[in-house]
Structure 1
């Protein structure tokens, strides 16, 4: 298995940057790719034109392979004309006041059409298309392969990993419950799919024949060594890179990651309507006390309005963080990468 992931993806080192929906940056993606790993860029909510512009910027910043990441539709997404936001708006009213912002009028759509995003990805022609929240349709996998694009899926359970392999993906990210951000479960509710990395990775390795990338709780050389001991062919790292100055996270977010203790994160639906791991702040506590959360993606749009207005306020933004965030010791992406490399098998 040693070297299989590198050969598959055209990279030198089996270290993958976690794709951050809303927090990706060209600088961080390019840095990880230039170090020899696979830089990833999260495209949540991006229009087709914005995807094309992002890919152009990435190609100007690095000549190395990179991944573009899409959220697959699950079928439970609500449209603006299908949801009553009265209670959810009342819950976040104090947060809009604190941000000095007003609730904007409802958009025509909360998210761009998946077909628009896919067409843009085909035009962008990344080395890798990575997906979360499901198995890509057979025609999507076939078109990616026809274009020479590798496909990586993300699983939170063994059953999801098997479904992804059967769907034709080239590699599977086994995302343990320790990981930052959204729990990307798709076969069972996220609350019923909270398998820890140490338990998930070896069981996924035993269940599938494609390379497995371990995610969740990997922040330094020790996490890398553990992942490979469990049979992983690579690691995906989020929080340790998110706290670097190359990321798009606000300074308050990076400081919170640096100071995080093992018990400082929670799983919440408050910020987006879907279960995600982060550090609780005023926004999370206010919404959870009110007990009114709109369904996804309406809640994400609603909170996004005050988050954008208060982008540097750690009390009002989403502080996504994994349970091992406090293990990161550097604010430079290249230094984080070098630390991770020290845990690779010799």
Structure 2
């Protein structure tokens, strides 16, 4: 069912983060056991996904990238249908045609997932322009990574959105890694949000592993986009805790860097804050984790039992 309002309860946000982590862990386990379709994980980035998506309303649209599981699950996607799509089954969101890299879910307001780095950036202004011309409510939220921020389409997209006064919330999940290349090898500055000023757009950087901070920043940014009808660039500084493509042994990652970010795990940070505030205890946390894993167990069973598409429909919806 399409979400009808933002969810801001911190325990609910933690539960959604745990669901994303359970999904990512299961994908990794399935990929390691093989054979299993390759998938790009977003483990470690749960706070960025949940913090932003929880600030969006029912009329808002989402364009995302190849690390889309967190955004989809945070938006309310059925993990069974997601897994079915990844596994090429008829019951998936796109009837098994998209795999993990091209999922769209109209009922959730997820316009597309782009496997082309920066591909979603090239389409976001067009989607926002169409919404504006048709007089439809809602803003357009476009997720991309620091790798896409090194491409020309990032600058073209934010410039066009600024010139045309388009309601786009650009969200850069700066996770330090661009496939197998570290961000420090491709850019000399630390802040991607700072690029916004060159195009007359406001930008802000936030701790992307702190779900409360991301949520507050996204709420404010989304409200500004709604009120002004102009774009905003929000940068969530986070870290991809797993490799680029499952399975991946991360042998190219500096062990000290990985340990540093593992100590700032977004789920652990949210758990400790809630426990300190008296909103959760260890038993409650264990129960949330068990519920998330049970949902993923059921999702795997659903996907495995789902049929493959009928070969007779191989060319359905294919146009020359």
TM-score bucket of the superposed structures, by smaller chain? 0.3 to 0.5
TM-score by length of 2: 0.35
